[in-house]
Amino acid sequence: MSASLITAVELSVKPDQVDAAVTAWKAHHATSAFEGRALFRSLEGAGLLELAPVTGWEQFADLRSDWAQLWDTLAPVAEGDFRRQVLGFVDAPKPADTALPQTQYIQMRHIEVPPRVHPAYRAWREETIYDVVRTADEVEVFEAYHSVLSTEPGVMFVSGFSCDPAEYTAVFTSPRYQEIVRQAGDRFIAGGERGLYTTIYARVS
């Protein structure tokens, strides 16, 4: 079942050092006491993403130490600082059977919704976004999280798929879904449609 709490750790690395960064990050996982993490590589730039299930807040003292080791390990290949979020599970029209999606690809879909319209947004997305996702075979997993601690607060959808990325992307570029995006931008997204960002990542085996 989907993890109730996850961390998302992103790092932009030097374009010619992505393979080296992947190797170093995986080696860190191999020696770490934390299990269940998944590492992904961006299809849209020189970025890496780690998702990890968290069982409770008592883990964070040890996580800070673990992250400090990861800092030292990846510092030579990093282009910027680590971007970390703690995300809490909300609901899922297509939940994973495991703590994290096991699909070949994931897409992180983020929007910021002002609190005053959040209840209306939740009802609206059930009839629009979730309706599309439930009927799209290309989407294997679709989970809604919300920021608990983040410098980029808001709704984060974790969407898992294993088909060709172009086939998957077609679900969210159809005329129907573009109308959904327009409605969301007009009614719910802070900053309008430009407040939506998405990134696709491939699992690092």
pLDDT tens per residue across span 17-37 = 999 999 999 999 999 888 899
Contact status, residue 157 vs residue 197, Cβ threshold 8 Å: no
- pLDDT for 205 equals 75
- With 80 as the cut, is the pLDDT of residue 51 above it? yes
Average pLDDT, the chain: 94
- pLDDT for 194 equals 67
What letters, b where the CB count within 10 A reaches 16 and e where it falls short, cover 118-155? eeebeebbeebbbebbeebebbbbbbbbbbeebeeebb
The conformational region for residue 184 under phi > 0 = left, psi -120 to 50 = alpha, else beta, is alpha
For the ranges 11-25, 75-89, 153-167, 179-193, the lowest mean pLDDT is seen at 179-193
Helix (H) or strand (E) holding 60: helix 60-74
The DSSP bridge partners found for residue 107 are: 159, 200
Stated pTM of the model: 0.94
Distance CA(88)–CA(54), nearest Å, equals 10
Helix (H) or strand (E) holding 200: strand 197-203
Contact status, residue 189 vs residue 196, Cβ threshold 8 Å: yes
- pLDDT for 151 equals 81
For the ranges 28-32, 131-135, 191-195, the lowest mean pLDDT is seen at 191-195
Q: What share of the chain is helix, strand, coil (3-state, %, to 5)?
A: 40, 30, 30
Q: The tokens 């407040």 sit on which residue? A: 195
163: confidence class by pLDDT, cuts 50, 70, 90: very high
Question: Judging by beta carbons within 10 Å of its beta carbon (0-12, 13-18, 19+), is residue 39 exposed, middle or buried?
Answer: buried
